[in-house]
Amino acid sequence: MPSLFSSYRLGGLTLPNRTVMAPMSRVRASAGGLATPSMASYYAQRASAGLIVTEGVQPSRVGQSNPGTPGLHTDEQTDSWRQVTDAVHTGGGRVFAQLMHGGRVSHHETTGLQPVGPSAVAGEGSVFTPSGPQPMPVPQALGTDEIPEHVQSYAHAARRAVDAGFDGVELHGANGYLISQFLSSNANLRDDRYGGSISNRIRFAVEAATATAEAVGAARTGIRLSPGGGIWGVTEDDAAELNTALLTELARLDLAYVHLEATADEDVLLGLRKTWPGTLIMSPAMPGGPKQAGRAEADHWLGLGADLIAFGRGFLANPDLVERMRSRLPIAPADENTFYQGGDAGYLTYPTYQHTA
């Protein structure tokens, strides 16, 4: 079994260890969706991760889910990210941008636009807006002729990401956002070639991954999935069959990786590991599992065939998480009250481990 601390070759990158900093929304971008100096410091502090995947970055204005999130669809946004990638690379790190189109998980108060989705079916729960939490509105159902624009939004944002210095991109196909909505059996009620059968419901995801790989190269393109996750009211009644079909098609593209969340039974996930021939990132800490994964969960999944292990909350409060796990030092808990409050407190203020005599 490989060690969590052994090196790994990912596309054109050599990762010094097999830890991945998972994408986590922190809503610290400035007006206009711009990355900030504080964001540069935040990611640079965590550059010892084998790979960093950023918070979700909207690939278009209508794709923005929450206020305070960064984008990659304007020149100003692209320019603003260079301070982040420069800081991570100076610290010896590697960083992918996660491209996240919210689809129906959005609100017109945030974007000035009606959210879009595969069908006119509202998501479950409330979404953050500038005036506070609001129920998700019924989205505009995309016409068949409108879908290519949203497919290409991922490719356009990927080009901007590479121009801004990112080592690659991860398509957010998980957690009830747009790609996940198309995969769904209850958010997608279409009767055209993007809905109904499994082969039709995976089409949007495959087209988005294909367009992105053509834009920046397959070795710079990954995708995150949450099989059967049920987040924001999205249901996959046929999660094993659906995701097996999706990974079979994605395997033809030779993508950099697939990033799976542990949102399905272990036997389903093991079946997907067998289906996917390339690099697999596993994110063990999900509902029903450990809230904050550590070495035990990492070793478990490495033993089951995962290549890289993604850690979320652990990296929030422990910028030196890799060294803490390597030396079996205490892992500090993160303060949930500071997750989305803005400012540098609970963002840049977590220290590295302080050794005492």
Q: Which residues are catalytic?
A: 177
| Count of positions (residues) in the chain | 357
SS3 246: helix
Q: How far apart are CA 259 and CA 82, in angstroms?
A: 25
SS3 258: strand
Phi-psi region of 11 (alpha: psi -120 to 50; beta: other; left: phi over 0): left
DSSP string, 93-108: --EEEEE---TTS--H
Indicate the residue type of 272.
Answer: L
**Exposed e or buried b per residue across 20-29, where buried means at least 16 C-beta atoms within 10 angstroms of its C-beta:** bbbbbbbebb
| Element holding 24 (H helix, E strand) | none
Output Rg (C-alpha) for the chain, integer angstroms: 19
- Distances in whole angstroms, Cα of residue 171 to Cα of each of 163, 284, 346: 17, 19, 27
Centroid of chain to Cα 79: 21
Q: Is there a contact between 310 and 22 (Cβ–Cβ < 8 Å)?
A: yes
| Element holding 16 (H helix, E strand) | none
Angle made by CA atoms 207, 212, 218, in degrees to the nearest 5: 105
